[in-house]
Each structure stands twice: as C-alpha cells, then as structure tokens.
Amino acid sequence: MLVIVGVLVLAFFVARNCQQEQVRLTEDQAIVIAERQVNFEPDRTQIRLLRQGLNSKPYWIVSLSIPGERDDTYRRLATVQIDAKTGEVVDVNRDF
C-alpha cells in the first residue's frame, strides 16, 4: 500500500513538472504578441495562464484595454488567446 501511494505521489510531481515545461512563452512575450494584434495602445493589460482540453494545453489570455469615462466601461477592449508553447495566436476578440 505504501508503495502505491509513493508511486502516485511521484506520478503527480512528474506530471506537474511536464506541464510546466510546456509553457515556453513568458508573460512579457505573450503581451508583446497580443499588442501586435490590436491597433491601439492599451492603458491596462491583464494576463492569465489557462489550461484547456483533456491534455491541459496551456494558453495565455491577454486582455488589453483603454477604460471609458465610467469604471464599468471601456473605450477599447480586446482579448487575445495565445498558445503558451508555440506563441501562435489562437483567437482575437475585439470589442471597440
């Protein structure tokens, strides 16, 4: 029983390390790629790493915005989904 628990713990850490290795693109690189996809200079930038699918493929989701006159509005807003392993732009949503 102790051996099985040990193997499971080892498998967990190995799988976790393999997932981290899949992220080859840094946050800063993802932001530069995202900014190339829009035709405005953002005042605000938010970024998060999201894993999708059965194999937990990593994507950077970058939000670029220029706030509106009120706190709950935007003059410009775009979100860019980037493959965190290859740097390929997967999707761009623009809400101007």
Q: Which residue has the tokens 């850490």?
A: 13
pLDDT digits (tens, 9 = 90+) for 30-71: 999 999 999 999 999 999 999 998 888 999 999 999 999 998
pLDDT value at residue 89: 98
pLDDT higher at 70 or 8: 70
- Give pTM, 2 decimals: 0.76
Q: Is pLDDT of 5 > 70?
A: yes
The amino acid sitting at 37 is Q
Alpha-carbon dihedral 12, 25, 60, 15, rounded to 10 degrees: -10
Domains and CATH numbers, the chain: 24-94 (3.10.450)
Q: What is the mean pLDDT of residues 74-85?
A: 96
What is the pLDDT confidence band of residue 17, given thresholds at 50, 70 and 90?
low
Q: What is the mean pLDDT of residues 70-89?
A: 94
Q: Is pLDDT of 95 > 90?
A: no
